[in-house]
Chains A and B, each alone.
Chain A
Amino acid sequence: MLSLTNVWVEYGEKVVLERITLDIAEGAFVSVIGPSGAGKSSLLRVILGQDQPSRGRITLDGQPLPAECGPDRGVVFQRYSVFPHLTVLGNTMLGLELASAPFTARLFGSARREARAQAEEMLAAVGLADSLNLYPSEMSGGMQQRLAIAQALIKRPRILLLDEPFGALDPGIRADMHALITRLWREFGLTIVMVTHDIKEAFALGTRVLTLDKRRHDPHAPQRYGAGVIYDIALTRKAEAERSATLETPA
Chain B
Amino acid sequence: MRWVNRTIGRGQALLLGGLPLAVLAVGYIVAAAARHAENPADKILPLPGAMASAMAALLFEADPLSGQLLFWADTLASLTRLGMGLGIATLSALLVGLVLGALPPVRATFGPLVTAIAVIPPIALLPILFIVFGLGETAKVALIVIGIAPFMIRDLAGHITALPREQVVKALTLGASSWQLLLRVALPQAMPRLIEGLRLSLGPAWVFLISAEAIAADVGLGYRIFLVRRYLAMDVIIPYVVWIALLAVAMDFALTRTSRLAFGWAHKGGH
Contact = CB atoms under 8 A, between A and B. Distances in A.
B166 A84 contact: no
A77 B173 contact: no
Nearest to A152: B173
B57 to A, nearest CB: 51
Given A85-B263, A105-B183, A99 B175 contact: yes
A85 B266 contact: yes
19 contacts: A69-B173, A79-B166, A80-B164, A80-B166, A80-B167, A82-B170, A83-B185, A85-B188, A86-B188, A98-B174, A98-B176, A98-B180, A98-B184, A105-B180, A135-B265, A135-B268, A137-B268, A152-B173, A157-B173
Interface string B245-271: 000000000000000000111101111
Assign chain A's interface to a size class: 35 or more
Given A105-B183, A138-B268, A84 B174 contact: no
What secondary structure prevails in chain B residues at the interface with A?
Answer: helix
Nearest to A79: B166
B30 interface: no
A155 B180 contact: no
A137 B270 contact: yes
State the 9 A-B residue pairs at the shortest beta-carbon distance, nearest first.
A80-B164, A69-B172, A71-B175, A80-B166, A95-B174, A85-B188, A105-B180, A135-B265, A77-B166
B189 interface: yes
B169 interface: yes
Interface of A: 48, 50, 68-71, 73-75, 77, 79-86, 94-95, 97-99, 102-106, 135, 137-141, 148, 151-152, 155, 157
Interface in B1-36: none
A70 B171 CA distance: 9
B195 to A, nearest CB: 14
Contacts of A86: 188, 265
B174 A77 contact: no
Interface in B211-254: none
B180 A48 contact: no
A75 B263 contact: no
B39 interface: no
Contacts of B265: 84-86, 135, 137
Interface in B41-86: none
